[in-house]
Amino acid sequence: MTLSVTREIAKLRGEIERHNYLYYVVNQPELTDAEYDALYRKLEEIEAKHPELITPDSPTQRVGSEPSQSFASIKHSIAMLSFGNAFDADGLRDFDRRVCSQLGVEQITYVAELKLDGLAVELVYQDGLLVNGSTRGDGRIGEDVLANLRTIRSIPLRLRDADSPVPSLLEVRGEVFIEKQAFATLNRQREADELPPFANPRNLAAGTLRQLDARVTAGRSLSIYCYDVGLVEGITIESQQQLLDILPKLGLRVNPRYRSCSGIEQVIGFYGDILDSRQALPYEADGIVVKVDSFAARETLGTVSRSPRWAIAGKFPAAQGITTLKDIVVSVGRTGALTPVAVLEPVRIQGVEISSATLHNEDEILRKDIRIGDTVVVERAGDVIPKIARSMPELRTGDERLFVMPTTCPVCGSHIVRVETEAAHRCLNTTCPARFKQSVLHFISKGGLDVEGMGPQLIAQLVDGGIVSSLADLLRLDRDTLIGLERFGPQSADNLLAALDSSKKVSLGRFLFALGIPGVGAHLAELLARHFDNLDSLVQAGEEELASLHEIGPLSAHAISTFFANKQSRQTIRDLLDAGLTLEAPSAESEAGALAGQRFVFTGSLSSMTRSEAGERVKSLGGIVASSVSKTTQYVVLGENPGSKADKAREAGVSLLTEDEFLQLLESHE
């Protein structure tokens, strides 16, 4: 009996997944909705009678699980990079010139795809079974949203093996989105239920994937298109065109509206075609993504910071609206820079109400001839901060007023200065309350100490009340003080103190970011943390040593050196350490690794593995993978057709390894 039931269940599941594939991936449905529903109900009925035969990859298990309390973090094996932007044909041609120059060719084949306005995710399949799913996050670490991703019907729970061999490991990247019609239907239903409508499809997709209750996700019509991979084992993929051919055979949906282009002019033609038909697309698209087709060529091109040199996003013109500029106010940032902000008569653009926009600096206002009272064109693209594209002087009445940058800080009254080499006006008073509040916000932000339960209003209370006058004061807050604050009860106080206590142990990289060193973002902070053994070594580093590091130029090196030479900066660090903050030592795994601290640079194509896979093996042994040769490099690994890095290594006296020698080195230490 059980054997026959098992066979029937397997047959039903196979049929349902086949029809899912025909409907979602190749758009060739064979069944009506009613016929499909009948198959599905039959499977549900049999599984209800035999719950012991239900498996995680059954089509019936997409309905969503019980609510989760939070999302765990997942580290991506290979970073999910973001793309640089081009905003017109000239920008795309500039990109092409850089690519062809670096590869030493006159023309190259690109694959151009649509850039959807959704949320990037990674799906991980082991032996064909979906085992992990996460958001892009910061590119290195994302949120575990597997339970929600499993509810999306266009994501196979198990890869197909009918037309292509199933890889033993496949990390596939894609964009989760909602189509315009489904978005409109959902908003009509919300309005009927007297609920506020969603602002735009992207916010809906992002918010839906982050629902703690996966059953909410299951009730919304999300879709996915896949376009990239991370680690792959068991099959070989050599180009983007080949990737887009293979993924559908495995049951993974790709956007059919892509084009293989011989040279950049064909790419520009594709850009224009999509821009002209943009409104007719069934989903929101804010541009195209242009990728070098050959994976071997991509390895040669490499990456810069968090963006690949082999791809670029061709962005469409931003959505615009027309409104009145009511006033210009000035905000003071943590570095003392004064930023003019436009106060607008509210205007809706792409479903979002815009009531303010940044004006950057006085030069920007003068260049665009923007006046208080003007009718202005406001521009918004995706989640980018709205900006004023231009004023409309032809509509002036004569009542408009010129903006004048204040000569004193609007918060502390200190004299405002403008350095000749900068566009910004600055308040140089380091004790300015506005500057300090922004510094505190940065210090406790998600990229810094990540203190939950502390926002701008609470920080304003603490600073304005004289309770917190230094960063170290945050770590010395006590229960009685917090309970005495407005709208702050015992439970809130206990929660905040617990969050502050857990934040006192922090990695060096996060601490460096939290300090707000000029020009040092999260990426540069991690780079510094990886290079220097401890904080003391970094503090003592000279400007020349800092400038020698990859990705740190002379200006950044000067800013970092100046920061640590400043007596107030050093005192701030001492006070924080005295208040109980401790810096986490490098992980035991990294310290104990046989290649700990040794820097490897790869050049040319490897035959036994990709350069990314080779890099992961180096990192697993505590080594460091760099993209350029410097005096701190220990080894340069030579693949086929090595580039100029090999010559630089010879000039610098760096050890050169063939691929065989590199593999022997790994095997002797693993």
The 10s digit of each residue's pLDDT in 145-172 is 898 899 888 899 999 876 778 999 999 9
Top pLDDT among 331 and 555 is at: 331
Reply yes or no on whether the pLDDT at 35 is more than 90: no
335-357: average pLDDT: 87
Lowest mean pLDDT among 25-29, 177-181, 361-365, 601-605: 25-29
The verdict on 271 and 329 lying in the same domain is no
How far apart (Å, rounded) are the C-alpha atoms in residues 303 and 139? 14
Domain count, the chain: 6
The verdict on 574 and 607 lying in the same domain is no
**Looking at this protein, which amino acid is placed at residue 451?**
V
Domain assignment present for 555 = yes
- The whole-angstrom distance between residue 96's C-alpha and the CA centroid of its chain comes to 24
**Residue 515 domain boundaries:** 507-584
pLDDT at res. 420: 73
Q: How, if at all, do strands 84-86 and 311-315 pair?
A: parallel
275-281: average pLDDT: 84
Residue 597 sits in a domain whose CATH number is: 3.40.50.10190
pLDDT band at 559 (very low <50, low <70, confident <90, very high): confident
What single DSSP character describes residue 210? T
The verdict on 499 and 511 lying in the same domain is no
Helices 659-669 & 611-620, crossing angle to 10 degrees?
Answer: 30
pLDDT at res. 522: 72
Reply yes or no on whether the pLDDT at 54 is more than 90: no
Residue 336 sits in a domain whose CATH number is: 2.40.50.140
Domain assignment present for 92 = yes
Q: Are 264 and 86 in contact (CB under 8 A)?
A: no
Domain assignment present for 413 = no
pLDDT at res. 2: 63
What single DSSP character describes residue 280? G
pLDDT at res. 66: 42
The 10s digit of each residue's pLDDT in 456-504 is 889 999 999 999 999 999 999 999 999 988 888 888 889 999 999 999 9
Reply yes or no on whether the pLDDT at 384 is more than 60: no
How far apart (Å, rounded) are the C-alpha atoms in residues 104 and 661? 28
The verdict on 141 and 239 lying in the same domain is yes
* Rounded alpha-carbon distances, angstroms, from residue 432 to 230, 414, 435: 47, 8, 5
Residue 563 sits in a domain whose CATH number is: 1.10.150.20
283-293: average pLDDT: 93
Residue 36 token pair: 């499909």
Reply yes or no on whether the pLDDT at 65 is more than 50: no
User: Which residue, of 288, 315, 342, is where some domain finishes?
Assistant: 315
Domain assignment present for 635 = yes
pLDDT at res. 383: 44
The verdict on 516 and 494 lying in the same domain is no
The verdict on 141 and 229 lying in the same domain is yes
**Looking at this protein, which amino acid is placed at residue 50?**
H
Our CA dihedral for 638, 639, 640, 644, rounded to 10 degrees, sits at -50
The 10s digit of each residue's pLDDT in 74-125 is 889 988 888 888 888 999 999 999 999 999 999 999 999 999 988 899 999 9
Name 331's Cβ contacts closer than 8 Å, sequence gap at least 6.
Answer: 338, 339, 341, 434
Mean pLDDT of all residues belonging to the chain? 84
User: Which residue, of 566, 584, 602, is where some domain finishes?
Assistant: 584
How far apart (Å, rounded) are the C-alpha atoms in residues 582 and 538? 16
User: Which residue, of 273, 289, 315, is where some domain finishes?
Assistant: 315
393-418: average pLDDT: 93
Tell me which residues are annotated as active site.
Answer: 115
User: What count of other Cβ atoms lies within 10 Å of the Cβ of residue 629?
Assistant: 22
Secondary structure of residue 322 in the 3-state scheme: strand
The verdict on 334 and 240 lying in the same domain is no
Residue identified by tokens 């003007």 is 374
How far apart (Å, rounded) are the C-alpha atoms in residues 599 and 269? 43
Reply yes or no on whether the pLDDT at 346 is more than 60: yes
What single DSSP character describes residue 250? T
The verdict on 140 and 257 lying in the same domain is yes
Domain assignment present for 647 = yes
* Rounded alpha-carbon distances, angstroms, from residue 167 to 56, 72, 158, 234, 281: 20, 26, 12, 4, 33
What string of DSSP letters covers 458-527? HHHHHHHTTS-SSHHHHHT--HHHHHTSTT--HHHHHHHHHHHHHHTEEEHHHHHHHTT-TT--HHHHHH
How far apart (Å, rounded) are the C-alpha atoms in residues 8 and 2? 10
pLDDT band at 382 (very low <50, low <70, confident <90, very high): very low
The verdict on 126 and 112 lying in the same domain is yes
Residue 99 sits in a domain whose CATH number is: 3.30.470.30
Reply yes or no on whether the pLDDT at 535 is more than 70: yes
pLDDT at res. 160: 86
* Rounded alpha-carbon distances, angstroms, from residue 238 to 68, 172, 243: 39, 15, 8
Domain assignment present for 405 = no
Top pLDDT among 317 and 37 is at: 317
pLDDT band at 591 (very low <50, low <70, confident <90, very high): very low
Domain assignment present for 332 = yes
Domain assignment present for 439 = yes
The verdict on 36 and 118 lying in the same domain is no
The 10s digit of each residue's pLDDT in 113-151 is 999 988 899 999 999 999 999 988 878 888 888 988 998
Burial (Cβ within 10 Å: 0-12, 13-18, ≥19) of residue 228: buried
338-361: average pLDDT: 87
Handedness of CA 422, 426, 430, 433 (dihedral sign): negative
- Please name every residue paired with 322 in a beta bridge, in sequence order, or none if there are none: 377
Secondary structure of residue 226 in the 3-state scheme: strand
pLDDT at res. 659: 84
Lowest mean pLDDT among 353-367, 456-470, 527-541, 642-656: 642-656
The verdict on 283 and 354 lying in the same domain is no
Reply yes or no on whether the pLDDT at 334 is more than 50: yes
pTM above 0.85, yes or no: no
The verdict on 182 and 280 lying in the same domain is yes
What single DSSP character describes residue 23? I
* Rounded alpha-carbon distances, angstroms, from residue 593 to 78, 252, 589: 20, 37, 6
The 10s digit of each residue's pLDDT in 416-468 is 998 777 778 999 887 899 999 999 999 998 778 988 888 888 999 999 999 99
Percent of the chain at pLDDT > 90 equals 40
552-581: average pLDDT: 90
